[in-house]
Amino acid sequence: MALLNDAGQKVLLRDYTWEELSGIPGREELKFLLPIGAIEEHGPHLTLHTDALQAEKISEMAARRVPGVIVMPVISYGFCVDTMNYCGTVSLSAETILMLVADIVKNLYRHGFRKLLIYNGHGGNNGILDASLKNALAGLSGPGEHCLADFNLYLSNSYEKISGQVRELVKGRDYGHACEIETSVMLALAPEAVNMDKAVEEYMDGDQDTVWRVRDMQSASKSGIHGAANLATPEKGAKILEMLVGNLVALLKKI
């Protein structure tokens, strides 16, 4: 059964036939939404696909509320330099991500689509995705051309815009990875993927500015957690989830 939006239109690219898709009028106004996450350690209590699952589900929930949005299949892998030493983390190289984004943009452009929003669920992807978007746009122009304007590319990093509101809900000393916030969201989104018996509180040394300069997280956090995962609740998760979805809905309406 295909996922439909509030107007009864299909939401997922994979549910369309090529004829159905090509028959949609005004294709340059269609908004493609590409979720990207990571396959990465998330402590002893959350599964490796936590970021990919959040990006995918939040994209689907937001797309259902805005007409004319088509969700592309999630890119499950991401750029995970800090957490590589934990068993199971599988990182793409920066070069691969650059090429992947450029290829997707090129193909959408070829079919006459002109709007793509990348929804990023993994903090480690932020920098490389920003560069990838610019690189993809530059790749659409011929040598010597300055015309980058006829394809609209947007990037939204999931927690970025709501970090102030999220901070108010945190009961632990800090948060950041596989933490109180992320575990709460997972309890609301996919409780079967959470084992609260193994959710602990651990912090990497230093303030957040220092923490994010750590290159091997395993040397700073035995569990792979930065935060108080044990303080996560589904109620808190539902609130944060609504903020995340609401933020993406507002963005999708604006573009």
Q: Which residues bind Zn ion (CB under 5 A)?
A: 51
Residue 112 has, within 13 A of its CA and on its CB side, a CA count of 9
CA 143 – CA 123 distance, rounded (Å): 33
- Paired with 174 in beta bridges are none
Torsion of CA 158, 162, 168, 174, to 10 degrees: 40
Tracing tokens 């015309």 back to the chain, one arrives at: 147
CB of 189 to Zn ion, least distance (A): 12
Smallest separation (angstroms) from Zn ion to the CB of 244: 12
Count of Cβ atoms closer than 10 Å to residue 118 Cβ: 27
CA-CA distance, 208 to 212, in Å (whole number)? Answer: 6
Q: How far is the CB of 155 from Zn ion (least distance, A)?
A: 17
Minimal distance in Å, beta carbon 128 to Zn ion?
A: 16
Nearer to Zn ion, 125 or 132 (CB): 125
Q: Which is nearer to Zn ion, 60 or 82 (CB)?
A: 82
* Structure token pair of residue 39: 């396959």
Closest CA to 183 of 241, 126, 250, 247: 241
51 versus 82: smaller Cβ distance to Zn ion: 51
Using alpha carbons only, give the angle 209, 158, 52 rounded to the nearest 5 degrees: 105
Nearer to Zn ion, 90 or 138 (CB): 90
Residue nearest to Zn ion (CB): 51
Answer for the pair 248, 121: CB distance below 8 angstroms, yes or no: no
- The kind and range of the H/E element at 117 are strand 115-120
Q: How far is the CB of 96 from Zn ion (least distance, A)?
A: 20
Residue 51 or 60 with smaller CB distance to Zn ion: 51
**DSSP label of 12:** B
Tokens of 104: 């997707």
In the complex, minimum distance from the CB of residue 211 to Zn ion, in angstroms, rounded to a whole number: 14
Q: How far is the CB of 178 from Zn ion (least distance, A)?
A: 6
The nearer residue to Zn ion, 48 or 252, going by C-beta atoms, is 48
CB 252 within 8 A of CB 178: no
